[in-house]
Amino acid sequence: MFEFIGFVKEDYKHEHESLPCNARIIPEEASNLKRITAGLMGIAIGYGLLLLKQYKYNNGDSILNKPFILAGIILGVLLLLPHEILHLIPYPKNSTKKILIRNWAPSAYCSAAVSKRRFIISSLLPILLGIVPLLLFMITSSVHSVINTILWTAGTIGLVTPANDYIDAFNCFIKAPSKSMIQSGNDGFYYFSNEK
């Protein structure tokens, strides 16, 4: 069940489900440098695809219609809400899934426990909002400069916006045991064994 809370204050606190006694926090070592690096990787992939298409299929001539970059940015920003919804899809159907807006940025939250695999899928699912537009960009004819511009800009933004999510997925993959469950707590994500 999805629950749209709307705009909340910066000090808004989620209601967390209780954690089992064997829960251990996943150490978060995400510095601003790591976040920026993850975002820059998305930009690098976007520019790499642009250059590939421009030089392989258009003799090095520009395939972007620069005034429409703003339209692509607007689309990329509008896709932030679907980005958050995608995070919630792998969570159990009967769990409460909350979507809110804090500091003008949408955010998704569910305190239900999921397997390590589902948590990583949840973290990485929004990458589709970068992959799909960039795939469409690569197969769209170079003569359609407006469509190419919007797809490329929105797709590149779609690869940049999950920068924190890449780090969450990596931390979980490296630091949580393979058969553990992952659950959100007051100060981060926790893992615990589900075996009796």
Q: What integer pLDDT is reported at residue 29 of this predicted model?
A: 66
Contact of 129 with 79, CB cutoff 8 Å: yes
pLDDT band at 102 (very low <50, low <70, confident <90, very high): confident
| Whether the predicted pLDDT of 44 surpasses 90 | yes
Residue ranges in the chain assigned as alpha helix (H) = 32-57, 69-78, 80-88, 116-124, 128-139, 145-160, 163-175
Q: What integer pLDDT is reported at residue 130 of this predicted model?
A: 97
- Range 69-85 average pLDDT: 95
Domain that includes residue 149, residue range: 2-193
DSSP 19: P
- Range 133-161 average pLDDT: 96
Q: How many domains are contained in the chain?
A: 1
Contact of 183 with 23, CB cutoff 8 Å: yes
pTM, 2 dp:
0.89
| % the chain with pLDDT above 90 | 62
